[in-house]
Amino acid sequence: MNRDMSYSAVMGRKNEIMKKAIGIDYNVFESGDIAFDYERMMREAGYSLEEIQRIQGDTGVGNTPILELKNLTALARKCAPEGKGARIFIKDEAANPSGSFKARRAATAVYHAKRMGYKGVIAATSGNYGAAVASQAAMAGLKCIIVQECYDSKMIGQPEILEKLRACEAYGAEVVQLTVGPELFYTFLSLLEETGYFNASLYTPFGIAGVETLGYELVMQFRERLGKDPDKVLITHAGGGNVTGTARGIIKTGAENVEVVGASVDLSGLHMASDKDFNKKSFTTGHTGFGIPFATWPDRADVPRNAARPLRYLDRYLIVKQGEVFYITEALSILEGLERGPAGNTSLTAAFALAQEMDQDQTIVVQETEYTGAGKSPMPQISFAKQNGIDVLFGDPDTEIPGKNIVFPEHPSMIKAREFDIDKARTSYIRNAITNYGKNEINRNDLDFLIKDTKSNQNYVLSVLSEIGVNIK
């Protein structure tokens, strides 16, 4: 009997397809209301830290070095008030097999797929995760399909995305290339159903647990090197897995006073699923178009319950400009001899500004770097921006308008880290939870869950619920 492959039919089967493709019965962790047992899901559906360290070590993933950026620190101190300018370090995740921290997530996902008897893995991603999954699948002898949004309707592709496409193909993956729009999830589900392959989602418990080793290593290496914990850890924030996994790893070291700070590039005003806006952005990851939506509603992901829940862990959320990130990318190359890609340099840009507010005996660690290549270097992206009508200027970065111009700072002292009101994100998350579950009253279990999921307190959550007319049973 032929299966109905219409859009509506496939979408109607998504829960059934996902259950087969992930092998997790998410219903086990549900309460029947807004809340679910997050920690039980992470514990029972994932792996222990020790298991993941072994899994990653078998494929050369992890144990990446921490490097001190002495010259960039010196530049920050020149721009800072007297006595200010914290020491800046980076965790060099470009040393992983596929060149980014996402090798940690991919290693656990591919290991789990092989352990469970799947013949192949599929991931829907335009970013470094595709290359990471393809690399790990090649090591494990599994088939691999990567589904990517590469082009707008005119078949014009972003240099950075096309660079990652070539990387996936170099590792032997089949790459399904799509134009931007709703066909991505439909194609992804159709391929999962057709092949019976494993969904190597970014947002499963074992995917997030794979990043815990990063946070754990970072603190332990720092203690060994400096005899203390870092004061702040800067993490590029997109879908939330980077923040969540790293923060959970930090917690597992017993470090209680490390401030977890997220950073995204400001792409406000550009719609990520818009054909018109697709090639107006110069950053394909680590920007507000992912960072804010995934913070305010994590369960928009390709799994029933997202294990990446950034508001549980973020202490601050900072925004930087496109021109500032390009500037710091070049400064890192020229001053430190390190050519690294744009994702990690997003948090490095925020760290450069934040370090100037901190004392010189304090420390700040940028939690990741990524590889660079032909399409990920600044010049191809800047040339592409010009071709798409974007003005490239020197001036005040605060005058930058996403989709209209890119403004490089005239002087490094003009680089800023702009505070995003994290309470605004918390309020939006609570409102989304109420709306998406159609509630006009919640129980005590839901209240406790919302408190934990927003890293807030009872009075805060109750005040938001009161504003929208929601009562506690």
Cα–chain center distance at 175: 21
pLDDT given for residue 373 in this prediction: 85
* pLDDT tens, position by position, 140-198: 999 999 999 889 999 999 899 899 889 999 999 999 999 987 788 899 999 999 999 99
State the Cα–Cα distance between residues 176 and 154, nearest whole angstrom.
17
The answer to whether the predicted template modeling score (pTM) of the entire model surpasses 0.85 is: yes
Residue 365 lies in a domain: yes
- What pLDDT, on the 0 to 100 scale, is given for residue 120? 98
The pLDDT of residue 38: 97
Percent of the chain with pLDDT over 90: 83
Q: Does residue 46 carry a pLDDT above 80?
A: no
| Residue 178 maps to a domain | no
Give a yes or no: residue 109 inside a domain: no
C-alpha to C-alpha distance for 239 and 217, rounded to whole angstroms: 22
Q: How far apart are CA 437 and CA 310, in angstroms?
A: 20
391 inside domain:
yes
- 337 and 403 fall within a common domain: yes
Tell me the CATH number at 362.
3.40.50.1100
* Nearest-5° Cα angle at 101, 231 to 425: 60
- Verify that 329 and 452 share a domain, yes or no: no
Angle at 328 between CA 326 and CA 331, to 5 degrees: 115
Q: Are 438 and 337 within one domain? A: no
Indicate if 248 and 337 belong to the same structural domain.
yes
Residues 300 and 354 in one domain: yes
Mean per-residue pLDDT of the chain:
94
- Among 419, 441, 457, residue at a domain's last position: 419
Residues 322 and 439 in one domain: no
What pLDDT is attached to residue 301? 86
pLDDT digits 0-9 by tens, 162-175:
998 899 999 999 99
* Residue 347 placed within a domain: yes
Please check whether residues 408 and 339 belong to one and the same domain.
Answer: yes
Confidence of residue 11 (pLDDT cuts 50, 70, 90): confident
- Residue 363 within any structural domain of the chain: yes
- Examine residue 17 and state whether it is found in any structural domain, yes or no: no
**What integer pLDDT is reported at residue 1 of this predicted model?**
54
| 212 lies in the same domain as 253 | yes
Domain count, the chain: 2
* Residue 18 reports pLDDT greater than 90: no
pLDDT attached to residue 269: 92
* 369-389 average pLDDT score: 92
In the structure, what pLDDT confidence band is assigned to residue 439 with cuts at 50, 70 and 90?
confident
Q: What average pLDDT does range 379-401 have in this prediction?
A: 95
Residues 367 and 462 in one domain: no
Q: Establish if 124 belongs to a structural domain.
A: no
**Which of 263, 319, 271, 285 has the alpha carbon at shortest distance from 158?**
285
- Do residue 317 and residue 427 come from a single domain? no
Q: Is the pLDDT of residue 58 over 60?
A: yes
| Whether residue 428 sits in one domain with residue 303 | no
Q: Are residues 457 and 380 both part of a single domain?
A: no
Which of 396, 419, 442 finishes a domain? 419
What does the pLDDT average to over 298-312? 93
Burial of 252 (0-12, 13-18, 19+ CB in 10 A): middle
Percent of the chain with pLDDT over 70: 100
Banded model confidence at residue 261, pLDDT cuts 50, 70, 90? very high
Is the predicted pLDDT of residue 331 greater than 90, yes or no?
Answer: yes
> Which residues have a Cβ under 8 Å from the Cβ of 115 and sit 6 or more positions away?
none
Residue 390: name the closest of 407, 373, 376 by CA: 407
- Segments forming the whole domain that contains residue 401: 62-97+206-274+282-419
